[in-house]
Amino acid sequence: MELMNKTAAELSTLLASKEISAVELAKAALARTEAVDSQVGAYITTAGDAALAAAETIDKRRAAGDALPPLAGIPVAIKDNICTEGLLTTCASRMLYNFVPPYNATVMEKLAAQGAVITGKCNMDEFAMGSSCENSAMKITHNPHNLGCVPGGSSGGSAAVVASGQAPLSLGSDTGGSIRQPAAFCGVVGLKPTYGAVSRYGLIAFASSLDQIGPFARTVEDAAMLMDAVTGYDPAHDSTSAPAPFEGSLRKNLSPDMKGVRIGLPKEYFGAGISDEVRESVLAAAETYKSLGAEVSEISLPLVEYALPVYYILSSAEASSNLARFDGVKYGFRAEGCEELLDIYVKSRSQGFGPEVQRRIMLGTYVLSSGYYDAYYKKARAAQRKIREEFAGAFEKCDVILTPVAPTTAYELGSRTADPLEMYAGDICTVSVNIAGLPALVQPCGFDGGKLPIGMQLIGPRFGEQKLLNAGLAFEQASGLKNIIAAL
Ligand code: GLN
């Protein structure tokens, strides 16, 4: 039986009925990685032996008659900025080239409790700063649908691993689009949860007020399944986490009924700068929703104009503070030949961090420095409040908002690395969601002329994950666009 083409839900059923074993499935996942990852480059670290051992434990427990949770025995890959006890966690940075965490992130404890089989750690932009995975200090990840193109970023490895059939599920993190944009580029489903729904404990911080961990999958149901496993209030470890009303029940409550559901199309997201193919594909999805009984109407979110500067000011400010801990003393990389303490700091940080990370630290330090704080940081916070209010107003008129994910589909490797501002501009459709702390679901809605996937984004109100997944499921069923695996 070809196992890696199956969804996590199908595999879960096969495991529960003992038609397949967890070891058999883990072996299939490792074999697929062996066959394709030299081309894709999704993993920084594979954890084959540990995966087989974990799978064996699950098989023994199942044989002993234990009632196991749905993810027991399912292979899951993890972005390399999520701390995994005893397993190398580099954040794709030279700074953490040898960091083996002494503890697990909360999400890893939750996956362990579920019996998920961890297959390895996925490539990303260094410290999650980037949109193409090209800022990784470790390797290049290729888009499985066209190896000459980027997989998106920063969670490009987590998207590519699922799109190339190496694992049915993975975890990524999203500060300004890092789950959603690679999901769109790779033709998979990605969910950025409401801020606080998933614990950030053990997620190596980029911008703490924006970061969220979330699932990648090839179907909406599978995304719900993984989201159910990782959701949870974590007051002991993450004071910004919050009890989510849907905790653990998203998959159970999936319902594709779109009758009377109000969908808003913000006109600012469909204007100049968005490629014709992307615009047409997302607007066609809106037509599909109409045919399913939804009420689609145009809305306006004019403050999106300020989203990019607000995001790059706030996220860089927080990054400059969060990354101060990497000083060559406490973690990872230390430069050679240092004379005194300041020398250790300067040389280790100059050599340990790549150019994009250094750019963000400098930008963040600048906007927080006295004299500029009021002009930039304070203004960005004020604009953030306005953006939040604008979304709150929109959700009085509609249940979900439908937009493109990125202005274009995946582009050629190397084509945007020369100009950081051009790279930042690609984040225009995603960053507002983080600024407002909202959930958003991305899934495939078509293909461009070059057969690269096009994604659409559904944005919901705070803790509106169920609404998003329901709408996502409705579209998936109507369009048949699901479980897309790149031919490799
Ligand atoms: N592309 C955005 C950035 O470079 C978002 C990154 C993210 O969500 N981690 O900051």
Alpha carbon distance 108, 171 (integer Å): 10
**Ligand 1 proximity of 214 Cβ (cutoff 6 Å):** no
Q: Please, how many CA atoms are within 13 Å of residue 175, restricted to the half-sphere of its CB?
A: 29
pTM exceeds cut of 0.75 = yes
- pLDDT score for 272: 85
**Ligand 1 proximity of 427 Cβ (cutoff 6 Å):** yes
Q: Is residue 486 part of a domain?
A: no
Q: Is residue 94 part of a domain?
A: yes
Alpha carbon distance 204, 201 (integer Å): 8
- pLDDT score for 116: 98
**Ligand 1 proximity of 364 Cβ (cutoff 6 Å):** no
Distance between Cα 83 and ligand 1 center (Å):
19
Is 178 an annotated catalytic residue? yes
Q: How far is CA 68 from the centre of its chain?
A: 27
Distance between Cα 174 and ligand 1 center (Å):
7
Best residue among 133, 171, 173, 178 to mutate for probing ligand 1, ranked by most atoms within 8 Å of CB? 178
- pLDDT score for 331: 84
- pLDDT score for 48: 96
Sequential pLDDT tens for the chain (488 residues) = 699 999 999 999 999 999 999 999 999 999 999 999 999 999 999 999 999 999 999 999 999 999 999 999 999 999 999 999 999 999 999 999 999 999 999 999 999 999 999 999 999 999 999 999 999 999 999 999 999 999 999 999 999 999 999 999 999 999 999 999 999 999 999 999 999 999 999 999 999 999 999 999 999 999 999 999 999 999 999 999 999 999 999 999 999 999 999 999 999 999 989 999 999 999 999 999 999 999 999 999 999 999 999 999 999 999 999 999 999 998 889 999 999 999 999 999 999 999 999 999 999 999 999 999 999 999 999 999 999 999 999 999 999 999 999 999 999 999 999 999 999 999 999 999 999 999 999 999 999 999 999 999 999 999 999 999 999 999 999 999 999 999 99
Q: Is residue 437 part of a domain?
A: no
Q: Residue 157 is part of a domain; what is its CATH number?
A: 3.90.1300.10
Distance between Cα 376 and ligand 1 center (Å):
19
**Strand 169-174 relative to strand 212-217, pairing:** antiparallel
> 244, 231 in Cβ contact below 8 A?
yes
Identified catalytic residue from 12, 21, 132, 154: 154
**Ligand 1 proximity of 154 Cβ (cutoff 6 Å):** yes
Identified catalytic residue from 131, 178, 199, 241: 178
Q: Which atom of ligand 1 is nearest to the CA of 174?
A: 8
* Secondary structure in 3-state letters for the chain: CCCCCCCHHHHHHHHHCCCCCHHHHHHHHHHHHHHHHHHHCCEEEECHHHHHHHHHHHHHHHHCCCCCCCCCCCEEEEECCECECCECCCCCCHHHCCCCCCCCCHHHHHHHHHCCEEEEEECCCHHHCCCCCCCCCCCCCCECCECCECCCCCCHHHHHHHHCCCCCEEEEEECCCCCHHHHHHHCCEEEECCCCCECCCCECCCCCCCCEEEEEECCHHHHHHHHHHHECCCCCCCCCCCCCCCCCCCCCCCCCCCCCCEEEEEHHHHCCCCCHHHHHHHHHHHHHHHHCCCEEEEECCHHHHHHHHHHHHHHHHHHHHHHHHCCCCCCCCCCCCCCCHHHHHHHHHHHHCCHHHHHHHHHHHHHHCCCCHHHHHHHHHHHHHHHHHHHHHHHHHCCEEEEECCCCCCCECCCCCCCHHHHHHCCCCCHHHHHCCCCEEEEEEEECCCCCEEEEEEECCCCCHHHHHHHHHHHHHHHCCCCCCCCC
For 293-316, letters b (16+ CB in 10 Å) and e give ebebeebebebbebbbebbbbbbb
Residues 436, 304, 409, 319, CA torsion sign: negative
Please name the residue that has the structure tokens 């994604």.
455
Distance between Cα 175 and ligand 1 center (Å):
6
Q: Is residue 82 part of a domain?
A: yes
> 398, 301 in Cβ contact below 8 A?
no
Domain count, the chain: 1
From residue 452, alpha-carbon distances to 161, 163, 485 in Å are 16, 12, 12
Q: Give the number of other CB atoms < 10 A from CB of residue 58.
A: 24
Distance between Cα 206 and ligand 1 center (Å):
9
Q: 99 lies in which domain range?
A: 3-261+464-479
Q: Is residue 358 part of a domain?
A: no
**Ligand 1 proximity of 177 Cβ (cutoff 6 Å):** yes
**Ligand 1 proximity of 206 Cβ (cutoff 6 Å):** yes
Q: Which atom of ligand 1 is nearest to the CA of 175?
A: 8
> 319, 364 in Cβ contact below 8 A?
yes
**Ligand 1 proximity of 352 Cβ (cutoff 6 Å):** no
**Ligand 1 proximity of 109 Cβ (cutoff 6 Å):** no
Q: Give the number of other CB atoms < 10 A from CB of residue 233.
A: 15
Identified catalytic residue from 6, 79, 121, 192: 79
Q: Which atom of ligand 1 is nearest to the CA of 177?
A: 8
- The amino acid present at 309, given as its one-letter code, is P
**Ligand 1 proximity of 174 Cβ (cutoff 6 Å):** yes
Distance between Cα 158 and ligand 1 center (Å):
14
Q: Is residue 227 part of a domain?
A: yes
**Ligand 1 proximity of 246 Cβ (cutoff 6 Å):** no
Distance between Cα 153 and ligand 1 center (Å):
7
Q: Is residue 256 part of a domain?
A: yes
Protein residue closest via CA to atom 10 of ligand 1: 129
Q: Is residue 175 part of a domain?
A: yes
